[in-house]
Chains A and B, each alone.
Chain A
Amino acid sequence: MTMLDNPAAGHFLPLEPGHSSPGRIEKLLRAGEFTVTAELSPPDSSDPEEVFEKARIFDGSVDAMNATDGSGANCHMSSVAVCAILRRANYSAIMQVSCRDRNRIAIQGDVLGAAAIGVASILCLTGDGVQAGDHPQAKPVFDLESITLLAMLRKMRDESRFQSGRKITHPPRVFLGAAANPFRPPLDFRPIRLAKKIEAGAQFIQTQYCFDVERLKQFMARVCDMGLHKKAFILVGVGPLASARAAEWIRQHVPGVHIPDSIIKRLAGSANQKQEGKKICIEMIQQVREIEGVSGVHVMAYRQEELVAEIIQESRVLGGRTPWYPGIDEP
């Protein structure tokens, strides 16, 4: 399969039958390839080169990069701008949209603009509360939440209409995604919530960090019972922990991350904690790949991005496939 046919900015490629976007991620997932995405943390800078530097680290190991939208409620370069820069080099970008900072008017405008520059996938998030970040004094917007956001974007795409009903001349051809957190209470409600997201329009799912395979298995069993794995592609969130101390810090400060004591103990008891964290991540990828209904992994390696290539290579999940990157075909 050639991956060169991702649309260049400003060009509209014809859609393949049954596809909603011309993007690489949708093609791979529909072709049944185990897909790898990674989180790109936008720079605190106005220099586009810093975006390219971050992107190049993932060359040849990931199929698309998520441009986060003020993640953890911290201020960084906007996700739409990061995507615009990535699209200049024909990288495949998943634009994250959070409901914390913008209302329905702002978001719809951003989505049209993003589609115009060749963004083919959008991840719809509610977003962390402002208390989690560096501007706790800010006004939280939350005009929408992930599910109403999904429904709104699906309407823009499938009915060519704004939420107001006003006509859009060329609809945004986007593959819609949502997050899921199988690890936090109320656990019995989590599969129902996923079903609602899929009903509202989610076509792919990226989960919160998985450090507890047993809990994920219970969740996925329920998801498969409900037939949800046939309606959306599920990518499980993974990532290396730098040390037991870092893991403890994440547990306390990053909303929604569940790290069992056993993982922290294992890290603490190791002579090389960073190496052990990477090993845990590789094992996790290999284990989740065996679970029914899992279509790929989403790697979040904040401040350890340089490990991603090794992690993907050593876990051998790509089975010899090399994801497209600029320059892959140069001799």
Chain B
Amino acid sequence: MYSVRRWASRHARFFEAVYNGFEAVLTSLHPLFRRIGYARMDKPVAAVEKLVKGFLFDTKMCGSCTLGATGMVCPMNCPKSMRNGPCGGVRSNGHCEIKPEMPCVWVDAFAGSRLMRDGDRIQGIQAMVDHRLQGSSSWLREVRRKKGVPEIGDAAG
């Protein structure tokens, strides 16, 4: 259990590069997305996103992805949904206060961030989650942000 996502965090630098490349490709597809319509694209893209990120990072599809700023570890796996660092309850062996069998998400996130080129992004403050975005594609959201396309009716999907 947790082996794939922990493996991914140990290779955070590699996945950071892959991710950055992938993002560039997606961004270049913006004209196509626009032609089809972002609203219509969201469901199928979110399905693929869920499959890929779910397998690699166990992501929870909160819709406001932070992977690049959290050591390529999904913070929504933290039972307290901590998005800005570890709570005070981390066990002395580095495991989670709430799920003793699970290594604390933030111990892995911090270790992962130390391997990354842009690892210091972990010092930035993540805003509170917009729960309406749950299940929508954060890949497309990122492209829209880059291209200055307004959110679909605020919450996508």
Contacts and interface: CB of A to CB of B under 8 A. Distances in A.
Nearest to A104: B128
Contacts, number: 101
B107 A186 contact: yes
B127 A142 contact: no
Given A185-B90, A185-B104, A186-B111, A148 B128 contact: yes
B127 A255 contact: no
B153 interface: no
Given A142-B80, A185-B90, A255 B122 contact: no
B110 A188 contact: yes
A154 to B, nearest CB: 12
Contact of B80 (A104, A145, A195, A200): A145
A152 B128 contact: yes
Given A142-B80, A144-B128, A151-B125, A189 B106 contact: yes
A256 B92 CA distance: 8
A226 B43 CA distance: 45
Q: Which of A147, A152, A189: most chain B Cβ within 10 A?
A: A189
A250 B86 CA distance: 20
Contacts of B126: 147-148
A316 interface: no
B44 interface: no
A208 interface: yes
Contacts of B131: 143
Nearest to A188: B110
Interface stretch (A82-90, A123-131, A227-235, A287-295): A123-131
Contact of B92 (A140, A163, A258): A258
Interface in B112-155: 122-123, 125-129, 131
Given A148-B128, A192-B123, A256-B97, A142 B88 contact: no
Given A186-B111, A189-B110, A129 B80 contact: yes
Contacts of B83: 145, 147-148
Contacts of A255: 88-89, 97
B90 A184 contact: yes
B85 interface: yes
Contacts of B90: 181, 184-186, 256
A190 to B, nearest CB: 8
B77 interface: no
B17 interface: no
Given A129-B98, A196-B125, A145 B86 contact: no
B10 to A, nearest CB: 15
B84 A256 contact: no
B79 interface: yes
B86 A186 contact: yes
Contacts of B87: 126, 145, 256
A135 interface: no
Contacts of A104: 128
A181 to B, nearest CB: 3
B89 A195 contact: no
Given A200-B125, A255-B97, A189 B79 contact: no
B80 A126 contact: yes
Interface string B68-109: 000000000001111111111111101001100000101100
Interface of B: 79-92, 94, 97-98, 104, 106-107, 110-111, 122-123, 125-129, 131
Interface of A: 99-100, 104, 126-129, 131-132, 140, 142-148, 151-152, 163, 179-181, 184-186, 188-189, 192-193, 195-196, 199-200, 208, 255-256, 258
15 contacts: A104-B128, A126-B88, A128-B97, A129-B89, A129-B97, A144-B128, A180-B88, A184-B88, A184-B91, A185-B104, A186-B107, A189-B85, A189-B86, A200-B84, A255-B88
What 7 A-B pairs are tightest by C-beta distance, nearest first?
A181-B88, A255-B89, A148-B128, A193-B85, A129-B98, A147-B84, A256-B88
